[in-house]
Amino acid sequence: MCAVFGSPEKSMLEVLYTANQSRGTFASSFIQLTYDDQFIFKKEGEIDFDDTKGSKQAVYNCGHVQAPTSAMRSWSYETSHPFDTLSWMVFHNGVITNARDIRKKYLPFIENPVDTSLIVNLIQKFMEDDRTGGTKPVQYIRRALECLEGSFAVSIIDCDTNELYIARVGSVLHYNNKGCYSTIPGTGYTELKEGVIRRLNKKTLRFNKVGEFKHTSPFLFI
């Protein structure tokens, strides 16, 4: 098990971190988004937020607690969330069951053993394959998610704009009308519907529906 969560306020991120800690203590991480940059913190075990100064200009905070879901391995920065490319960043809870097929068909050059790395690189690939450059970013996300089998709850960041998207199949994920999302819900949270992509409106702090993707529910909730 792992967990993903996020909040406009760092203080609320700490609350969500505590609420989700039962999902994994192998590794912890969070990022702070400003209007034009990202600040990433990754650590084996638990995070002491008092030791992370962060950015005073942060407008949003995303977090993750990790439990290894494949072969046991020692901690490393490269195999901890979030996973990123030049233009995208992904946090993920779940298990991609067709990871080998995705590597063979789309990403034979990706050596990172963690299945989450495939999600972010699929989005990057579909963006780079777009010769027109006129496709909306959510369409690259949709194409990538439709390639996946298994269970996943993801928070996805467009690093060029710092727009935040959430989506899920199988794995649980909830959101509220105050700009927060979390694997473990609190009072006032709504379960995100499978196959729906929502994007955070930073002004209203609402997660608005911006797309759907084809999927087959694995009936596995983790």
Quick check: 220 pLDDT over 60? no
Q: Which long-range contacts (CB under 8 A, 24 or more apart) does 172-175 make?
A: 172/221, 172/222, 173/4, 173/93, 175/207
Model confidence at 73: pLDDT above 70: no
Residue 125 has pLDDT above 70, yes or no: yes
Q: What is the pTM of this model?
A: 0.93
Reply yes or no on whether the pLDDT at 70 is more than 60.
no
* Residue 134 confidence (pLDDT) above 70: yes
Report residue 175 CA to chain centroid gap.
14
Give the pLDDT of residue 136. Answer: 94
- Domain assignments of the chain as residue spans, ordered by start: 3-212
Of the candidate ranges 45-54, 167-176, 204-213, the one whose mean pLDDT is the lowest: 45-54
Q: What is the pLDDT of residue 74?
A: 79
Minimum mean pLDDT among 12-21, 127-136, 193-202: which range? Answer: 127-136
The percent of residues in the chain predicted with pLDDT above 90, rounded, is 73
Instruction: Determine the residue type at 54.
Output: G
**Gyration radius of the chain's alpha carbons:** 16
Mean pLDDT of the chain: 91
CA distances from 41 to 33, 65, 86, 127, 173 (A): 12, 12, 18, 27, 22
Instruction: Residues 3-212: name the CATH superfamily.
Output: Aminohydrolase, N-terminal nucleophile (Ntn) domain (3.60.20.10)
Nearest to 80 by CA among 41, 36, 135: 41
User: Which pLDDT value is given to residue 128?
Assistant: 94
- For residue 49, the model assigns a pLDDT of 80
- Rounded alpha-carbon distances, angstroms, from residue 6 to 10, 46, 55, 176, 181: 9, 17, 16, 11, 5
pLDDT score of 139 more than 80:
yes
Q: pLDDT by residue (tens digit) across 7-48? A: 999 999 999 999 999 998 899 999 999 888 889 999 999 888
Torsion of CA 4, 205, 164, 147, to 10 degrees: 70
Whether residue 218 is preceded by a cis peptide bond, meaning omega within 30 degrees of 0, is no
Measured from the Cβ of residue 36, the count of other Cβ atoms closer than 10 Å reads 10
Measure the CA–CA gap between 39 and 41, rounded to whole angstroms. Answer: 7
Q: Environment class of residue 44 by beta-carbon count within 10 Å: exposed (0-12), middle (13-18) or buried (19+)?
A: middle
